[in-house]
């Protein structure tokens, strides 16, 4: 497998973990009033910032792997696609308002913005693959692309975000909150599985080597569900480790399965050049800078 594809899948999984926490966490705080909701509300601006930052790498790799399709879809959607930028800005500041004011309405605004962005990415994904429709779409002057698989994609994605949120939040939750999060995770995963059945009926399919990742995904989800049931019965047990490990495996496998239909239309591989040396150097320096910032921030907090 090509190095840039591996990096794209890995960074996309990391981005999905942060984004899932933000979307599902905003929903949780919107409907709940408890200690965990207060904790999540305080973390949401940071998690969104981390999600946006983590999204830079997969976006760049996506452009590298699908240059023609990505840029064509961008141009066809035009201002409709660029609307994701102000939506993210509004959502970002709405989370700060929710934290500052301890009110619910900014969370509702943020949630609408984030769901709009999720829909827009699903729309762009489908348009990238619909090259046979590009001419007619452009000739008609359309700005909204309609596909039968967009809704089921969201039916898989959004509930899976709730499971990912529960996996992260459970580590700092009380025993009662862990039981509640376990129930949320199981219910969300079952809804997501229903969305997967709908997506398959809408025409999504996986073949070739990606089938092995589909098996890995199914196994990881089965272990994860068992872990959540165990955690609900014994909140202080080792179930939290099981659901985290299985959830991480399911996330990586799901990202591979999601991208599998696009493997056949990747841009041709190019020889490694000096650009990869610059990338490796920037990666090492960036990781070192982030580590220093985290260490400095932690030391400042401990000294207070």
Q: State the sign of the Cα–Cα–Cα–Cα dihedral 131, 133, 138, 141.
A: negative
The H or E element containing residue 2 is none
CA-to-CA distance for 184 and 206, rounded, in angstroms?
28
Give pLDDT, residue 304. 59
Q: Give the tens place of pLDDT for each residue, 86-112.
A: 999 999 999 999 988 878 899 999 999
Whether residue 295 has pLDDT greater than 90: no
Query: Tokens 């967009």 — which residue?
Result: 150
Whether residue 156 has pLDDT greater than 80: yes
Give the three-state DSSP class for 135: helix
**Neighbour count for residue 112 (Cβ, 10 Å):** 15
Could you tell me if 253 and 216 are in contact, meaning their C-beta atoms sit under 8 angstroms apart? yes
Whether residue 1 has pLDDT greater than 80: no
CA-to-CA distance for 26 and 227, rounded, in angstroms?
25
Could you tell me if 164 and 247 are in contact, meaning their C-beta atoms sit under 8 angstroms apart? yes
Residues with Cβ within 8 Å of 100's Cβ and at least 6 positions away in sequence, in order, are none
- In this prediction, residues 185-192 reach a mean pLDDT of 95
Q: Give the tens place of pLDDT for each residue, 22-76.
A: 999 999 999 988 899 999 999 999 999 999 989 999 999 999 899 999 999 999 9
CA-to-CA distance for 122 and 149, rounded, in angstroms?
9
Residues with Cβ within 8 Å of 156's Cβ and at least 6 positions away in sequence, in order, are 192, 195, 196, 199
Could you tell me if 119 and 154 are in contact, meaning their C-beta atoms sit under 8 angstroms apart? yes
220-227 — which CB contacts under 8 Å span 24+ positions? 220/246, 220/247, 220/249, 220/250, 220/253, 221/189, 221/193, 221/246, 221/250, 224/163, 224/185, 224/189, 224/250, 225/186, 225/189
What integer best gives the mean pLDDT of the chain?
A: 90
Q: Give the tens place of pLDDT for each residue, 105-152.
A: 999 999 999 999 999 999 999 999 999 999 999 999 999 999 999 999
Q: Give the tens place of pLDDT for each residue, 105-114.
A: 999 999 999 9
CA-to-CA distance for 72 and 265, rounded, in angstroms?
14
Could you tell me if 244 and 167 are in contact, meaning their C-beta atoms sit under 8 angstroms apart? yes
Give pLDDT, residue 51. 92
Is the CATH code 1.10.1060 the one for domain 3-270? Answer: no
Q: Give the tens place of pLDDT for each residue, 253-270.
A: 999 999 998 888 888 877
Please name which of 70, 52, 44 lies closest in space to residue 16, comparing C-alpha atoms: 52
CA-to-CA distance for 5 and 20, rounded, in angstroms?
22
Q: State the sign of the Cα–Cα–Cα–Cα dihedral 105, 107, 110, 111.
A: negative
Q: Which residue has the higher pLDDT, 294 or 253?
A: 253
Residues with Cβ within 8 Å of 154's Cβ and at least 6 positions away in sequence, in order, are 118, 119, 122, 195
Residue ranges per structural domain of the chain: 3-270, 276-304
Would you place residue 238 in the very low, low, confident or very high pLDDT band (cuts 50, 70, 90)?
A: confident
CA-to-CA distance for 58 and 7, rounded, in angstroms?
8
């Amino acid at each position: 497998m090509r190095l840039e594809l591996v990096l794209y899948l890995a960074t996309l999984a990391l981005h999905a973990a942060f984004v899932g926490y933000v979307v599902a966490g905003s929903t949780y705080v919107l409907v709940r009033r408890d200690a965990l909701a207060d904790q999540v509300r305080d973390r949401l601006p940071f998690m969104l910032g981390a999600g946006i930052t983590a999204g830079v790498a997969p976006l760049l790799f996506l452009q590298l792997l699908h240059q023609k399709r990505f840029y064509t879809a961008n141009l066809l959607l035009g201002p409709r696609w660029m609307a994701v930028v102000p939506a993210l800005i509004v959502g970002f500041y709405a989370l700060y308002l929710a934290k500052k004011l301890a009110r619910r309405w900014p969370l509702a605004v943020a949630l609408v913005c984030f769901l709009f962005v999720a829909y827009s990415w699903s729309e762009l994904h489908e348009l990238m693959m619909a090259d046979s429709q590009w001419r007619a779409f452009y000739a008609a002057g359309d700005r909204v692309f309609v596909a039968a698989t967009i809704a089921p994609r969201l039916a898989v994605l959004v509930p899976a975000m709730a499971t990912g949120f529960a996996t992260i939040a459970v580590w700092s939750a009380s025993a009662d909150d862990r039981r509640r999060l376990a129930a949320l995770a199981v219910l969300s995963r079952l809804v997501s599985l229903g969305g997967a059945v709908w997506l398959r009926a809408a025409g999504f399919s996986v073949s070739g080597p990606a089938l092995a990742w589909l098996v890995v995904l199914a196994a990881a989800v089965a272990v994860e569900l068992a872990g959540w049931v165990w955690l609900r019965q014994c909140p202080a047990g080792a179930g939290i480790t099981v659901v985290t490990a299985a959830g991480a495996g399911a996330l990586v496998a799901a990202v591979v399965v999601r991208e599998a239909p696009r493997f056949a239309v990747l841009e041709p591989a190019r020889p490694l050049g000096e650009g990869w040396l610059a990338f490796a150097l920037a990666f090492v320096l960036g990781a070192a800078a982030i580590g220093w910032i985290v260490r400095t921030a932690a030391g400042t907090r401990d000294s207070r």
